Amino acid sequence: MNPLETPSFPSRLPRVGTTIFTVMSALAAEHKAINLGQGFPDFPCDRKLIAEVNEAMLANRNQYPPMIGIAELRNGISQKIQNLYGHHYDADTDITITAGGTQGILTTILACVSPGDEVIIIEPAYDSYRPAIELAGGKTIAIALQVTRDEHGQVASYEIPWEILAKAINTKTRLLIINTPHNPTGMVWGKTDLDRLAGLVRNTSTLILSDEVYEHMVYDGAQHHSVASHPELAARSFLISSFGKTYHVTGWKVGYVAAPSALTKEFRKVHQFNVFTVNTPMQYGLATYLADAEHYLNLPAFYQAKRDFFRAGLSKTKFTLLPTPGTYFQCADYSALDIPQAKFNEADFCKWLTTEIGVAAIPVSAFYEQATESGVIRFCFAKQDQTLSSALQRLEKI
């Protein structure tokens, strides 16, 4: 062996490559396209929040905080969950501050999944779930949402396949991952859905990971139904949320995990050797900002206005719009467009849309392990009105 040659080793994630988000963002930059692909805002956060973080920095809040997060922020989260969902999580034993929602997901899976355990995910699914399961040595059991179509054959909605889900749960099922509001479809679980889920896991040892990072983006007067609002599910669930999504600061990577103390004890064993702790001044700034509930209570109206603006513009095109009761994503079926490209698969259509029309979107097929084509793509409307207007002008030309 050449002593200057870098040794090789077996990949822990041999099937993982460059994500579609990176590919489409690079393509958008290359062709100067409007990027409605990746899910983050192009508008600034509240200057008050920045001021709170700056004040914490100037007050020398710059050293390691407690491993579980500062008390002020954990207490604020506990009070918020109590107020919104009626469930009490002890700030000392049940709540941990994480480096974003994705770290909370990874740490949860590493903490409770052992080699050979089965983990159920519901596809289309956020792309970090499966690699995290593989790193833990678990086996992913993917259940696809049922696609319903209208009389013209276009996708109308997605529904939970309850019978298939029930059959997938067995003695090997360690964890079931749900995501509500759902990325990428925008689907929202209702109270009856949580009741039905509770019935499925009632006499099992299956744990729940509930990814609720879009909890404050539920529209049309509806409520977000958290696992925290369901005592039976709360007793076996890890609830994961994100300040990045709620306060327009995705780059800060601060979130939290709330779970019963027995689950949290195991979570923290992994957390302390994973990231150990999370950015100190950001925590102090968020703790102060969180004290004003209006900042998150007003979020549904803020994003619903953007959703309605974007949908009104898309309705002037031949895209078929799917319902968007939650998240800041709008899915659309392009198969009825009167152009040859309507026959493209989703990935190729998104590449064409980016390079030729100048608007980047994400193929929903990318959220499945095995590419599942339904002619649906995902736009992100967490953008300035001018950005959305410019994108709509281009899309209306199709």
What's the chain's average pLDDT? 96
Over residues 247-286, the pLDDT tens digits come to 999 999 999 999 999 999 999 999 999 999 999 999 999 9
What was the pLDDT predicted at 92?
98
What was the pLDDT predicted at 371?
77
Regarding pTM above 0.85, the answer is yes
CA–CA separation, 303 and 288 (whole Å): 23
What was the pLDDT predicted at 38?
87
Non-local (6+) Cβ contacts of 270 within 8 A are 107, 110, 111
Q: Of 92-106, 150-164, 287-301, 323-337, give the lowest mean pLDDT range.
A: 150-164
Q: Between these two residues, 18 and 9, which has the higher pLDDT value?
A: 9
* The two structure tokens encoding residue 369: 């392990």
CA distances in angstroms from 154 to 86, 329, 357, listed in the order given: 40, 18, 22
Residue 359 banded pLDDT, cuts 50, 70, 90: very high
What was the pLDDT predicted at 18?
85
Over residues 186-218, the pLDDT tens digits come to 999 999 999 999 999 999 999 999 999 999 999
Q: Are 330 and 381 in contact (CB under 8 A)?
A: yes
Residue 115 banded pLDDT, cuts 50, 70, 90: very high
> What are the strands of the beta sheet with 362-363, ordered from one edge?
320-321, 329-333, 376-380, 362-363
Under DSSP, the state recorded for 97 is E
Over residues 72-113, the pLDDT tens digits come to 999 999 999 999 999 999 999 999 999 999 999 999 999 999
Tell me the three state secondary structure of residue 104: helix
Tell me the three state secondary structure of residue 138: coil
Over residues 148-192, the pLDDT tens digits come to 888 877 777 899 999 999 999 999 999 999 999 999 999 999 999
Burial of 397 from C-beta contacts in 10 A (0-12 / 13-18 / 19+): exposed
Non-local (6+) Cβ contacts of 393 within 8 A are none
What was the pLDDT predicted at 160?
97
Using alpha carbons only, give the angle 73, 75, 80 rounded to the nearest 5 degrees: 95
φ/ψ of 195, rounded to 5, equals: -60, -40
A 10 A CB-CB count for 162 gives 15
> Does position 146 have pLDDT exceeding 90, yes or no?
yes
What was the pLDDT predicted at 151?
80
